[in-house]
Amino acid sequence: MVKSLSVIFAVLTIAVVLPAAEAEKEALLKLDAILEKCWKKHGITPAPVVGDAEFFRRLSFRVRGKLPQVSELKKFIADKTPGKRSLLIKKYLDSGDFALLMAMRYADMFRIKSEFPINLWPNAVQCYHRYFYTLTIEDRSWRQTARELLTSSGSNFRVPPANFFRANADRTPKGLAAGTALALMNFRTTALSDADRKKFEAFFSRIRFKSTKEWKEEIVYNDPGQAILKCRTPDGAEFTIDTSGTDPRRVFADWLTDDENPFFARAYVNRAWYWMFGAGIANPADDMAMPRKQGLWSRIFGRETAPAANAPVDEELMTFLSDYFRANGYSTKKLYSLILNSRAWQVGWRCKKEELARKEKYFAVYPVRRLESEIISDALSSLTNSYERYVSVIPEPFTYIPRNTPAVSLADGSMSTGTLDKFGRSPRDSGKFEERNNNSTGAQRLHLMNSGVLYKQISRMPGRILRGRLNMDQMMDLAYLTVLSRYPEPEERKAITAYHKKLSRREKWKIWPDLFWALVNTAEFSYHH
């Protein structure tokens, strides 16, 4: 009987899984067809799909925030399993590494920072950061998350989403409205007229904060006193709210998360695309032109259509992904899985210079972008087996972070180091993408080239990594796989061999510290590609 039940359960499980898998496959075919249509429309030939080694590196950095391990890379390259890329994508999306990386991204977005100007303080920082880690691991509906963020009340030390409004430098209705529009709609309230903006701010005019007997703790709540509010959403919808029986935050949450609302799904889709590509479907990625329902474009911009400056580069692509996101219960993992499996995400990055801008615009080549500060710091730390120490400058709990803590896992935007600052870590003051600086600078190059501490750490790498009886080619392979996640090209092998021959017998050992140092200083090491 037990065995029969097991068989029945297995059959039912397969019956449930197969339709879901088929639906995902169908969605992927549709997405790739939309991309092909876009490329054909603009007369673009996309770059070829990258090989396994480059795919593995790209996925590891974008989804795990980690430099690939040589053993994992070799295993993946040798694997002949059909659909191995999709299987690896699923594995990584289900991992704690992905949850930590997403928590870092949400921490930038929602301004998780203990000190000025946000002043959440460490207890709230840890609580709020863990909330975003957990919702990613559990793949909670983004719609449910948004409602929790907008409507939660209570202690900001004990009710994580209560920090949504608390983590604003400006906690007036004007500041709370601007922070909400940016985070959940990718919208700037400065685009509204003064009258419309004030009516939008009215949704947030009853939010209050009060201290408790615990140092720095605050209670976030809605003032239940009676008032009649005249509110208007950015699409022109009017609401009259009696606050004695209705929380204005809930009215706004109902409007925002309604399936018919054009703001909500599109805003997250554009952020997700930005996080995976380094550029949005609409740019700037957190300042989007959204379709309006009641002619508000004509009142703001003098026309009914979205301004071309920040409209999607392909409306069909944006609409399809937004519809897919809604249809799948606002599952962020399903959205990321679809994007990562698409041809656009897996195309190469090489193309002629004169074609680069146009091909990048339509995602026919993979946009080359420098690694985020935390990721490049952790990559250096994993290579040298020496993580930086993070210490808070304020005398609060969680002042000392355990040794060997990855920078990606830091909850507090107030904690930083010289390396993180040099490579443009977000200060988390406003929640805008532009706060994170991913541009290359002279200071960064000088740090990699001239840091005595870093050079000493890199010089010890060959002794740790190049063990056993390896010939010259095997040692070169291991060096390149460790730092660049690929095998050396024939020209590179020749150059290294020639350099080795020039060294005297006593100095030949120097080739390996020098090679590791040279590889770390290549643009290839410090960029997404």
Instruction: Give dist(CA 49, CA 509) in Å, integer.
Output: 38
Which of 309, 325, 346 marks a domain boundary? 346
- Residue 291, domain member (yes or no): yes
Indicate whether 311 and 178 sit together in one domain. no
Please check the confidence at residue 7 and state whether its pLDDT lies above 70. no
- Residue 457, domain member (yes or no): yes
Indicate whether 197 and 321 sit together in one domain. no
The whole-number pLDDT of residue 505 equals: 85
Reduce the DSSP state of residue 139 to 3 states and report it: coil
Indicate whether 222 and 322 sit together in one domain. no
H/E run at residue 62:
none
Give the model confidence (pLDDT) of 368-403 as tens digits: 999 999 999 999 999 998 888 887 766 555 567 888
**In 3D, which of 392, 389, 394 has the Cα closest to residue 404?**
389
What number of residues does the chain have?
A: 529
Q: Which residue has the higher pLDDT, 393 or 141?
A: 141
- Residue 122, domain member (yes or no): no
Please check the confidence at residue 294 and state whether its pLDDT lies above 70. no
Indicate whether 328 and 459 sit together in one domain. no
- Residue 148, domain member (yes or no): no
Chain position carrying tokens 């068989």: 7
Instruction: Give dist(CA 103, CA 134) in Å, integer.
Output: 9
The whole-number pLDDT of residue 143 equals: 98
- Mean pLDDT calculated for residue range 447-468: 80
Indicate whether 17 and 60 sit together in one domain. no
Q: What angle do CA 251, 286, 297 make, to 5 degrees?
A: 65
DSSP string, 243-304: TTT--HHHHHHHHHTSTT-HHHHHHHHHHHHHHHHSS-SSSSTTS-----SSSHHHHHHSSS
Q: Which two tokens stand for residue 404?
A: 């060997």
Q: Calculate the CA 93 to chain-centre distance.
A: 12
- Residue 210, domain member (yes or no): yes
- Mean pLDDT calculated for residue range 15-20: 52
Supply the DSSP symbol for 152.
Answer: -
Indicate whether 296 and 411 sit together in one domain. no
Indicate whether 342 and 356 sit together in one domain. no
Which of 221, 238, 258 marks a domain boundary? 258
- Residue 110, domain member (yes or no): no
Q: Which residue has the higher pLDDT, 30 or 397?
A: 30
Q: Which two tokens stand for residue 475?
A: 């040692």
Reduce the DSSP state of residue 109 to 3 states and report it: helix
Q: What angle do CA 186, 363, 50 make, to 5 degrees?
A: 130
**Cα dist from 154 to 118, 223, 224, whole Å:** 18, 13, 14
Q: Do residues 114 and 414 make contact, with C-beta atoms less than 8 angstroms apart?
A: yes
Confidence of residue 86 (pLDDT cuts 50, 70, 90): very high
Give the model confidence (pLDDT) of 190-209 as tens digits: 989 999 999 999 999 999 99
> Domain count of the chain?
3
Domain holding 412, by residue range, is: 43-81+347-529
Instruction: Give dist(CA 181, CA 431) in Å, integer.
Output: 11
Which of 202, 224, 258 marks a domain boundary? 258
Q: Which two tokens stand for residue 522?
A: 């290549």
The whole-number pLDDT of residue 339 equals: 98
Indicate whether 353 and 488 sit together in one domain. yes
* Angle formed by the axes of helices 490-502 and 511-520, nearest 10°: 140
